[in-house]
Amino acid sequence: PSQVMFCTLNTHKVDMEKLLGGQIGLEDFIFAHTKGQRKEVEVFKSEEALGLTITDNGAGYAFIKRIREGSVIDRIPVISVGDMIEAIDGHSLVGARHYEVAKMLKELPRGRTFALRLTEPRKAFDLIGPRSGGSRSGGTQVGSGRGTLRLRARGPATLEEQPSAFEELAVAKVDDLLESYMGIRDSELAATMVELGRDAGDPDALAQALDAQLGDFAFPDEFVFDVWGAIGDAKVGR
């Protein structure tokens, strides 16, 4: 288990859009991606934004989820999507959450060089195609698409109904805002924020709920306002 960096659903490829999060369908197939080659890279921060989106596996490893085309990081071929960020300038990041890593990278001064220690996922099964949807022919289909298995850090796994159209739209909007403001994507965090903001009457009520449950993130006021607006838009289908 200590060698597993992250898991993907229904594909062996390093596809950051298919990461295992808090929910899996009854027919989903899980691929574990283990540690491969380690890399030491020097990066010159010529721009304020490095062009990285960071996520984590919930078990102490933060890694690169997306690299913006034409960005500082995109111009360094040795850095790839799926690389785990082990250290910045020798400071270990094992155990750090994705937002802590993103904040550290953002606070690095422009115009200086810093060192990244990375580990890439081991490459294997290159000839295997993605697993197609649907169940085997014959018999009762267990995964009808009507339910989802939800995994929680505390307590047992539970089978829940699929999210409503409002929830799916709102979570997608909030996840986009997380990437825009904080350089992270986290659908589970976005879902929690939507749950907290569903009944909030105004941005102040949402801010109080976020502070009570997610105070460690220290969300800026303009971000909270945009989240409240995104949830409101989703309620009316925009």
* CB burial readout 198-222, b (16+ within 10 A) else e: eebeebeebbebbeeeeeebebeee
The pLDDT, as a whole number, for residue 6 is 85
CA atoms of 83 and 235, how far apart (whole Å): 37
Torsion on CA atoms 173, 175, 177, 180, rounded to nearest 10:
-130
The pLDDT, as a whole number, for residue 61 is 86
The pLDDT, as a whole number, for residue 42 is 94
Residue with tokens 């903001």: 197
Torsion on CA atoms 178, 233, 229, 193, rounded to nearest 10:
-50
Check if the beta carbon of residue 236 is closer than 8 Å to that of residue 170.
Answer: no
User: Phi and psi at residue 224, in whole multiples of 5°?
Assistant: -60, -40
The pLDDT, as a whole number, for residue 22 is 63
User: Residue 77: is it exposed, middle or buried by C-beta count within 10 angstroms (0-12/13-18/19+)?
Assistant: exposed
**Prediction pTM value:** 0.61
The predicted-structure confidence for 130-161, as pLDDT tens digits, reads as follows 445 444 344 433 444 445 555 555 556 555 55
Q: Nearest-CA neighbor of 96 among 122, 49, 57, 66?
A: 57
pLDDT at 62 over 50: yes
Selected from 2.60.40.10, 2.30.42.10, 1.10.540.10, 1.10.3720.10, the CATH number assigned to the domain covering 35-121 reads 2.30.42.10
Nearby residues of 127 by Cβ (< 8 Å), 6 or more positions away: none
CA atoms of 126 and 141, how far apart (whole Å): 30
Nearby residues of 226 by Cβ (< 8 Å), 6 or more positions away: 177, 181
* More confidently predicted of 132 and 103: 103
Element (H, E) at 225: helix 221-235
CA atoms of 152 and 155, how far apart (whole Å): 6
The predicted-structure confidence for 10-59, as pLDDT tens digits, reads as follows 888 888 778 877 667 777 888 888 889 999 999 999 998 899 888 887 77
Q: What is the C-alpha R_g of the chain?
A: 19
Domain ranges in the chain are 35-121, 163-236
Backbone conformation region of residue 218, classed left if phi is above 0, alpha if psi is from -120 to 50, else beta: left
